[in-house]
Amino acid sequence: MPREILTRHEWNAVGGLRGDNLLREAFFETAAPRAADLVLTLEIAMGVGLLVGARLARKGRFRQHAWCQSAIVLLNLVVVVVMMIPSFRVHVLPRIPAKLGRAYYALATTHAALGTVAELAGLYILLSAGTSVLPDKLRITKYKTCMRTALVLWWVVLLLGLATYVRWYVPHLFRK
Ligand code: HEM
C-alpha cells in the first residue's frame, strides 16, 4: 500500500514487516513523529551524560566534570527552546486550566513546570560555579547539595517527559 494512504502508526507496523529500519521499529513502535523520538533519545543520552559527569566529580576530575555538565545544560536549553516550548504552546497551553484533570495535559504541564525549574537550576549552577558574572552574595555556597538536588530533579523531569511521551504517542497502552 502506498505510504500516503497509511497513518504514521500503520506505516510503522508495515515498515516492521517490510524488514527495513528494523532497529527503529523495534525500539519505537509508536505513533510518535520522528522529532519526538529524536528529543526522547537526546534527553535520555543527556540524562545518562549527567550521571557520567557526576562520577567524574567523585573521581576528582573537576575540569572534565564542569565541561560535561555545562555542555549538557546548554544543549538541553536549545532542545527545550526549539522543540518543547513551541509544542507546549500549541498542544497544551490553550487547554489549561480547563483540561488539567486529564492525564494528557496534567503530565505535560507538571513536566514543563518542573522542567523549567530544573533547567534554570542548571543554568544558575553553571553561572555560579563556572563564571564570575554573579556577585558574591548570589553565588552558591553549598555546591555539593545544590548539584545533587538539581541532578535528582532533572531525572524526575526526564521520567515525567518519558511519561508524557508514552501518554501522547503510545495510545494502545491506555486502551482497554
Ligand atoms: C530538564 C529539562 C527537561 C527535560 C530533561 C525534558 C525531557 C523531555 C522528554 C524526555 C520528553 C519526551 C520526548 C517528546 O515527547 O518529544 C519531553 C517532552 C516534552 N517536554 Fe520536556 N524536558 C525538559 C524541559 C521542558 C520544559 C521547560 C518544557 C516547557 C516549558 C517542556 C515541555 C515538553 C513538552 C510539551 C513535551 C512533549 C513534546 C512533543 O512530543 O511534542 N519540557 N521532555
Classify residue 24 by its DSSP letter.
Answer: H
Is 173 within the bounds of a domain?
Answer: no
Rg of the Cα atoms in the chain: 19
* Nine cell digits for residue 51: 550521571
Least confident of 5-9, 34-38, 117-121: 5-9
What are the φ/ψ torsions at residue 128 (nearest 5 degrees)?
-75, -40
Is 8 within the bounds of a domain?
Answer: no
With contact defined as beta carbons under 8 Å apart, do 115 and 77 qualify?
A: no
Mean pLDDT, range 58-76, rounded to an integer: 98
Report d(CA 38, CA 101) in Å as an integer. Answer: 29
Number of C-beta neighbours around residue 140 at 10 A: 15
Q: What is the best residue among 30, 111, 152, 156 to mutate for testing ligand 1's pocket, by most ligand atoms within 8 Å of CB?
A: 111
Is 175 within the bounds of a domain?
Answer: no
With a cut of 80, say whether residue 72 has pLDDT above it.
yes
Is 153 within the bounds of a domain?
Answer: yes
Determine the distance separating the centroid of ligand 1 and the alpha carbon of 8, expressed in angstroms.
Answer: 21
Is 149 within the bounds of a domain?
Answer: yes
Count how many domains the chain has. Answer: 1
* Nine cell digits for residue 163: 511519561
What is the band of 173 on the pLDDT scale with cuts at 50, 70, 90? confident
pLDDT at 174: 65
Mean pLDDT, range 150-161, rounded to an integer: 98
Ligand 1 site residues (CB inside 6 A) read 36, 39-40, 43, 76, 80, 84-85, 87-88, 92, 108, 111-112, 115-116, 118-119, 154, 157-158, 161-162, 164-165, 168
Is 160 within the bounds of a domain?
Answer: yes
* Nine cell digits for residue 78: 536549545
With a cut of 60, say whether residue 15 has pLDDT above it.
no
With contact defined as beta carbons under 8 Å apart, do 165 and 36 qualify?
A: yes
- Integer angstrom CA distances of residue 122 from 11, 131, 136, 143, 158: 39, 13, 18, 12, 14
pLDDT at 55: 98
Q: What is the best residue among 43, 84, 89, 104 to mutate for testing ligand 1's pocket, by most ligand atoms within 8 Å of CB?
A: 84
What is the band of 31 on the pLDDT scale with cuts at 50, 70, 90? confident
With a cut of 70, say whether residue 25 has pLDDT above it.
no
Determine the distance separating the centroid of ligand 1 and the alpha carbon of 30, expressed in angstroms.
Answer: 17
Is 101 within the bounds of a domain?
Answer: yes
Is 82 within the bounds of a domain?
Answer: yes
pLDDT at 24: 47
Domain enclosing residue 55, as ranges: 29-168
